[in-house]
A and B are shown apart, each in its own frame.
Chain A
Amino acid sequence: IAGITQAPTSQILAAGRRMTLRCTQDMRHNAMYWYRQDLGLGLRLIHYSNTAGTTGKGEVPDGYSVSRANTDDFPLTLASAVPSQTSVYFCASSDSGTSGWGTDTQYFGPGTRLTVL
């Protein structure tokens, strides 16, 4: 593995189903993030984690949950998917996160294209 990987690449999901998007990084970065990207809008932060064992809410957290059991993995779960969650989801990581220490540059995974019908 080099950098950040996400799985699946794409998924079509029936409304009401539960779905977990996976994200793994091998750069030993402290911070990880989940964004969604919709046409005409900027990337919007869903949840973040500054370090293993801690998580925080971003701009659009409703309907999503995350966990950070270790440094490398940061899964995003949709408990009961709705059509408005159709989007492209990007996972990212950085040295420092919102602690303000270290390098803030975020590096992105290839994305997951999710369609909820």
Chain B
Amino acid sequence: GQNIDQPTEMTATEGAIVQINCTYQTSGFNGLFWYQQHAGEAPTFLSYNVLDGLEEKGRFSSFLSRSKGYSYLLLKELQMKDSASYLCAVEDSNYQLIWGAGTKLIIKP
């Protein structure tokens, strides 16, 4: 079956750096997405990786290793507004997104 694994919850301190990992086993691979979801709101797009390596976008970076079935989202200079759930999703061979359950990130002052 298809499976996306992420930690359920992580805690970090304001101003610090946090890495959220995602491992996947899917039937085919056409790209990996990270979304941010604040409580009670819709998911919003953060990043997309289809080739191995690091994609940097401001304070957020996303890394992909296709051979290892692994990705991480790196958040730098954490701010209180970064408290949210972070969703990892893989686009499978049918171009459908398979979603992880999400990682709830708690930022402490």
Q: Could you tell me which A residues sit within 8 Å of B by CB distance?
A: 40-45, 48, 58, 90, 96-100, 104-111
Q: Could you tell me which B residues sit within 8 Å of A by CB distance?
A: 4, 30-31, 33, 41-45, 48, 87, 89, 91, 94-102
What residues of chain A lie closer than 8 Å to B97, measured between beta carbons? 43, 45, 106
> Measured between C-beta atoms, what is the minimum distance from A26 to chain B in Å?
16
Contacting pair B99 A58 (CB below 8 A): no
Do A42 and B87 contact each other (CB < 8 Å), given the known contacts A105-B45, A107-B45? yes
What residues of chain A lie closer than 8 Å to B43, measured between beta carbons? 43, 90, 108
Residue of B nearest to A110 (CB): B42
Closest 4 pairs (CB-CB, A-B) = A42-B99, A108-B42, A98-B95, A43-B99
Known: A41-B101, A99-B95, A108-B42. 11 other contacts (CB 8 A): A42-B4, A42-B89, A42-B101, A43-B43, A43-B89, A43-B99, A45-B96, A104-B91, A105-B45, A106-B97, A108-B43
Contacting pair B96 A48 (CB below 8 A): yes
Q: Which of A42, A45, A108 has the most CB of B within 10 A?
A: A42
Do A42 and B45 contact each other (CB < 8 Å), given the known contacts A58-B96, A100-B95, A104-B31? no
Contacting pair A105 B48 (CB below 8 A): yes
Q: How far is the CA of A44 from the CA of B100 in the complex (A)?
A: 10
Do A90 and B42 contact each other (CB < 8 Å), given the known contacts A42-B102, A58-B96? yes
What residues of chain B lie closer than 8 Å to A97, measured between beta carbons? 95
What residues of chain A lie closer than 8 Å to B41, measured between beta carbons? 110-111
Sample (11) of A-B pairs whose CB atoms are under 8 Å apart: A42-B101, A42-B102, A45-B96, A45-B97, A48-B96, A90-B42, A97-B95, A99-B95, A104-B95, A107-B45, A109-B42
Residue of A nearest to B4 (CB): A42
> Measured between C-beta atoms, what is the minimum distance from A40 to chain B in Å?
6
